[in-house]
Chain A
């Protein structure tokens, strides 16, 4: 504490005296902001809490009776949890799409809304971590994967890379969020050197989290459905659809419900980004499908199963066609400038895109990797009620984190920009 004060006294750019002393007050103020609000806010938070508790209950049951309460099998050994994990990583990486135009292209208008992307990244990473946690058969042995404590099979296991990049991303974004908020809270201009390098790091890092997550799957030679070099780029493309879409939705909701007007330029820019990325994503899906179906080799059974069903098994067929239709429709909407003028249509287009990607990258990617199994046995997978409970719970918790983050951040940011 004292050392810090000395430094702040001597340095010229200079944190004012009491830089750290203010911190408890900042926390207290944040806690207040997070817990004070309109009935609507309370209602929203109560709802999320309730759903999260349902999730906790489901997980407690799963912990007690074993993963038998899920519908996963030795044949389909990953399911809804890992599907959501994958989507969540995309969301986290996509959040950074807010940051790139702001800092790489020095778009001032975006600076104020950058925090949205950062907060989304934080919330999404928390969601991802939770999905991994509930997917573990032995959550009590979680410490085995902590470097130094357990045995960390790095660099050979891709999962350890994922642990590193996800936690690293969480820390970077927590730092950026925390630093920006705290300095703005103090009414000071943030020191560039304390956050700009991290912003650039987070841009690179965002790419890495999704690449590494794709490598988890694409490095498995025994799973031809995933064993394609296109997986990582595809993941990135879809991440850069889902992330910006989620941010657009956030802004639309904030405006509509909380009456918070964020720079309209921001939404426009994000729409432009999605306009490109959604097409790239579709192109990649098409390229993948061409390879599968035109070649028609034994390896394409997974794609056949996904799109048309195999030997009378077709649990995923409705899912994937829904996803394709939604994605294509969303793409059409995003290409149509005038349609997006109306917030309603924009919302609809965004929702379609979001759900489309969620299916395509979640259930549509993870489950067909397992069906048929490596020895071509067909066991289908439909998530159990417990799995849905836990999944809903985790999303609710993630949204809680996101909402609270926004609740704290937005007033501080607005006040700060008002001052300027």
Chain B
């Protein structure tokens, strides 16, 4: 009995059946002594219900009993909130800091709506503003997102004003898939705690990573490489370059 138990435990430890068969076949006799060796084996199997489950099985696990309690204990998620926007002016103050101006400071004064549609036309006060949002043959315009009446607000597709701090709901109109991922922690990254029972999770928001006027994630230069002994990078790489 003890023997069989140990053997089963061994099997579980081995995970796959065939390996355990191989070993059992090599020396069945030996397995009787396994008890001794098996006694102090980690009993990890008992505590780990996912052990040996497939990806599909894991993703269908039922909710656990203490979920309700847990919900009460959770720390809030701390979202970063966008401020009302400012624009660079290409000028510096006495201390040499660049001067930025709140968009609304000009745009609220304009009696007439400026029918500007593309960034190229913007010269003064919009230095460095690169506008590239939307598909190449159907670029968005300023007023797709900015509320024409009040530049302290954004606008939804139906014209409703949205505060800047809630900008995500506006982005989500087009980027629903990303928003859904974000909602489930699968987009945008995070900091702090995965276990919200133990601490606060800090989330960035859309425009922390994406420039709303040119939202494509910037190109980067990798500046850290592990130096594996004797790994000759260039040769290997060039070979592939030639091949393609």
Interface residues of chain A, those whose CB is within 8 Å of chain B, are 71, 73-75, 151-156, 219, 311-313, 377-381
Contact B31 A379 (CB under 8 A): no
Distance A312 CA – B234 CA, assembled complex (angstroms): 12
Contact A73 B228 (CB under 8 A): yes
Residues of B within 8 Å of A312, CB to CB, are 235, 239
Contact B30 A379 (CB under 8 A): no
In the complex, what's the smallest C-beta–C-beta distance from B120 to chain A, in angstroms?
Answer: 47
Contact B37 A379 (CB under 8 A): no
Distance A393 CA – B173 CA, assembled complex (angstroms): 74
Extra contacts, 6 of them, besides A73-B230, A377-B236 (Cβ < 8 A), are A71-B230, A75-B231, A153-B37, A155-B31, A313-B235, A378-B236
Contact B229 A156 (CB under 8 A): no
Q: Would you call B4 an interface residue if the criterion is a C-beta within 8 Å of the partner chain's C-beta atoms?
A: no
Nearest 9 pairs of A and B residues by beta carbon: A73-B229, A311-B239, A379-B230, A379-B231, A154-B37, A73-B230, A155-B30, A155-B23, A378-B236
In the complex, what's the smallest C-beta–C-beta distance from B25 to chain A, in angstroms?
Answer: 12
Interface residues of chain B, those whose CB is within 8 Å of chain A, are 10, 13-14, 19, 22-23, 27, 30-31, 34, 37, 40, 228-232, 235-236, 239
Q: Tally inter-chain residue pairs, CB-CB below 8 A.
A: 46
Contact B236 A155 (CB under 8 A): no
Distance A380 CA – B228 CA, assembled complex (angstroms): 12
Distance A75 CA – B37 CA, assembled complex (angstroms): 32
Residues of B within 8 Å of A71, CB to CB, are 230
Given A311-B239, A377-B236, A155 and B34 touching (CB < 8 A)?
Answer: yes
Identify the closest chain B residue to A211 (Cβ). Answer: B26
Contact B239 A75 (CB under 8 A): no
Distance A335 CA – B13 CA, assembled complex (angstroms): 50
Residues of A within 8 Å of B23, CB to CB, are 155-156
Interface residue SS majority, chain A: loop
Contact B229 A379 (CB under 8 A): yes
Contact B37 A155 (CB under 8 A): yes
Identify the closest chain B residue to A372 (Cβ). Answer: B236
Residues of B within 8 Å of A378, CB to CB, are 232, 236
In the complex, what's the smallest C-beta–C-beta distance from B241 to chain A, in angstroms?
Answer: 12
Distance A377 CA – B240 CA, assembled complex (angstroms): 12
Distance A71 CA – B230 CA, assembled complex (angstroms): 9
In the complex, what's the smallest C-beta–C-beta distance from A159 to chain B, in angstroms?
Answer: 13
Contact A311 B235 (CB under 8 A): yes
Distance A316 CA – B30 CA, assembled complex (angstroms): 40
Residues of B within 8 Å of A153, CB to CB, are 37
Identify the closest chain A residue to B239 (Cβ). Answer: A311
Residues of A within 8 Å of B19, CB to CB, are 219
Distance A299 CA – B239 CA, assembled complex (angstroms): 19
Q: Which of A71, A151, A311, A381 has the most CB of B within 10 A?
A: A311
Distance A79 CA – B239 CA, assembled complex (angstroms): 26
Distance A75 CA – B229 CA, assembled complex (angstroms): 8
In the complex, what's the smallest C-beta–C-beta distance from B208 to chain A, in angstroms?
Answer: 33
In the complex, what's the smallest C-beta–C-beta distance from B86 to chain A, in angstroms?
Answer: 47
In the complex, what's the smallest C-beta–C-beta distance from B229 to chain A, in angstroms?
Answer: 4
Given A379-B228, A379-B229, A311 and B34 touching (CB < 8 A)?
Answer: no
Residues of A within 8 Å of B239, CB to CB, are 311-312
Contact A155 B13 (CB under 8 A): no
Contact A377 B231 (CB under 8 A): yes
Distance A379 CA – B34 CA, assembled complex (angstroms): 40
In the complex, what's the smallest C-beta–C-beta distance from B63 to chain A, in angstroms?
Answer: 35
